[in-house]
Structure 1
Amino acid sequence: MAEFETISLDVADGVATLTLLRPDRRNAIDMTMRAELRVAVARLVNESAIRACVVTGSGGSFCAGGDITSMRDREPGIEDARERMRQTGETVLAFLTLEKPLIAAVDGAAYGAGFGLALAADFVLATPRARFCASFGRIGLVPDFALHHSLPRRVGLARARELILTAREVDAGEALSLGIAYRVVEAGDLASEAGALAARFVEASPTAIALSKNLLNQTFGLDLRQVVEAETMAQAACLDTAYHRDAAQRFLEGAPPRFRWPAEA
C-alpha cells in the first residue's frame, strides 16, 4: 500500500476509505495533498476489488478548501497557475466520473474545494455541525473543483447562482433541505454510518452502477433520443453480464437477491 503524508487510504471488505489528514489546517488542500489525491483516486478507479468508497476528513473538519499559504507561496504567472489547476481538474474529474458509489462523510467545514470534493460524491452524510460554503468569492476567486457543474445539479441553477455569488455558508439543516446532504447523522456515528452505506453497494452489479453513473453524468447534455440510445447500449451490456444471469436465476428460484435496498441486517 502506498504511503501518504497528508491522506490515508484504507481498504477493507470491498470498501475504500480516503481520509484527509491535515487537521491542524482543517484539512486544507496544499500542493502535497493535491498530488496525493491524484494517486489515491487513481487507485480507487483502477482496483477492481474496491466496490465502494468513502471520503472524509479528520479532526472535526471535512476540508476547508485550498490552503491559502500554499497559494501565496506559489510561483507568479498565469502559466504556472493554469498548469496547477489543470492537474486539480484532472483529479476532480476522476472523482466525479468514478464508476463506483462514492460517499462523502462531512463533519465541520466543507469550504471551497472541500465543498466541491463533497459534491463529487453520490451521497453526502453530514453531521449537525457540518457547514458548506462556495467561499471562493471571499478571496476574489471563482469556484473550481467542478462546483459550477455539481452544485446546479444538486440545487438548481438559481440557488447555485445565489450560493456562488454570495459565498454564504449553508448549515446542515439547510443542506439537507436543498438536497446537498443525503442524511444528517450524529458526529459519533458518522464513520460507521458512512461505512455501512458504502458496504450496501459491495454486492451490487459493478457494471450496472458504472453505466448508470456515466449516464447520469451525461444526461443534461443529451437529448431524449440520445438518452434512449445510450440506455439501450448500456442495458445490452448489463444483460450480457454473469451478475445479471445469476440475479435472474435467483429471482426465478425465489432466492433472495444479492443486492436490495435497504440492505438486510
Structure 2
Amino acid sequence: METVLVDRRAGWMVLTLNRPARLNAFNEEMHLALRRALEEAAGDAACRAVLLTGAGRAFCAGQDLAERVQTGGAPDLGASLDRLYNPLVRQLRALDKPVVCAVNGVAAGAGANIALACDIVLAARSATFIQAFSNIGLIPDSGGTFFLPRLIGDARARALALLGLPLDAATAAQWGLIWAVAEDEALAGEAEAITARLAARATHALGLVKQALNASPGNTLDQQLDLERDLQRLAGYAPDYAEGVRAFTQKRPPVFSGQPGRVPEA
C-alpha cells in the first residue's frame, strides 16, 4: 500500500498520508514518500498549490513508536530529526507555493507540528492537537518550540508542551493556532475550495509572501522593510502584477499565470 497518495487536480495536488491502521504515524517510508511528492509539486509548474491531509480517522499520530521499539536499544533521536523530520519541515516552509493542511482527526506529536508547518490549517471540529512529547519523556520537535509561542503566545505554548493535553479544534482556532474549523463532513470540500482558490492566484507572489513571513521572526523592522522592498521588486516585474492591474481597471477577475517575470539587470 502506498504510504502517501498523490491526487493531481486542475492546478493543484492533494497529498494524503495513507497509513490509516497506524493513524498515519510516520515511519521512514512515509517520510520519504511525502518528501518525494513535495519535490514533485515543487518542480511541476502546473501545480500551483498543495493540500495535505490524512486517510481514515486521523491526520497523523506523530512518530510510529513501533518502529522505535523494533530498532532495539536507545536510538539517536537527534539523528532521526536531522535526517527525516527537519528536512520535511524546511521543505514545507520553503515550497514556493501555498500548502493547505486539512486536519481530519487527531494531530499528535510531530503530526501536530507538521500541520503547523503548512501555510493554512483547517481542522475538522472533532480534530484535536496534542503536543504528546512530554508524555513519553521528550521535548516538542519538528518546529513545535518555534511555532507554538509565535502562534499562541508563551503561556499557552508552555502549558501545551509541558502538560501534553489535547487541544480541541475550536479552541485551537480561537487561540490562533490554526486558521479555521469546519464541520467534519464539510472539511474536505472546504479545504479543496481553499486550495483551488490559491491555485488560481498569483503563485509567484504567494511564494514571495512565504519568503517574507518566514524571515520575519528573525529580522529587525529595518531588515524586514528592506526584504519587502526586494521581494516587491520581484513581484512587480512578474506578469501577474500587470494582469492584476488590468483586471482591476477593467472590472473583471484576473487570470494569473503564476510565473515570475524578467528582472532588468542593474
Verify same fold: TM over 0.5. Answer: yes
2:82 is aligned to: 86
> Offset at 1:15?
1.4
User: Structure 1 unaligned runs (5+)?
Assistant: 260-265
Q: For residue 95 of structure 2, what is the aligned residue in structure 1?
A: 98
Q: CA deviation at 1:227?
A: 0.7
Are 2:120 and 2:178, in contact at CA under 8 Å, matched by a contact in 1?
A: yes
Which of 33, 49, 74 is the aligned partner of 2:30?
A: 33
Answer yes or no: is the 8 Å Cα contact 1:117–1:145 preserved in 2.
yes
Alignment partner of 2:147 out of 146, 150, 154: 150
Q: Name the residue aligned to 2:192.
A: 195
Q: 1:13 aligns with which of 3, 10, 13?
A: 10
8 Å Cα contact 2:93-2:210 kept in structure 1: no
1:250-261 aligned at under 5 Å gives the runs 250-258=247-255
Q: Does residue 1:43 correspond to 2:40, yes or no?
A: yes
Q: Deviations over 1:194-217 (max 9, x none)?
A: 110101112211121011111101
Shift of 1:75: 5.6
Cα separation, 1, equivalents of 2:42 and 2:155: 33
User: Following the alignment from structure 1 to structure 2, what is the Cα–Cα distance between the partners of residues 107 and 254?
Assistant: 38
Are the counterparts in 1 of residues 11 and 200 from structure 2 also a CA contact under 8 Å? no
Corresponding residue to 2:165 among 161, 164, 168: 168
The CA distance in 2 between the partners of 1:132 and 1:69, in whole Å, is 21
Q: Distance in 2 between matches of 1:176 and 1:246?
A: 35
CA RMSD of aligned residues (A): 1.6
Tell me how far apart the structure 1 counterparts of residues 125 and 250 of structure 2 sit (CA, whole Å): 45
SS state at 2:199 partner: coil
Identity fraction in percent: 36
Instruction: Kindly indicate whether the alpha-carbon contact (under 8 Å) linking 2:81 and 2:142 is maintained by their aligned counterparts in 1.
Output: no
Give the deviation of 1:256 after TM superposition: 3.0
1:136 equivalent to 2:139? Answer: no
In the alignment, the residues of structure 2 paired with residue 185 and residue 227 of structure 1 have an alpha-carbon distance, to the nearest angstrom, of 34
| Aligned partner (choices 200, 203, 211) of residue 214 of structure 1 | 211
Distance 2:137 2:56 in 1: 28
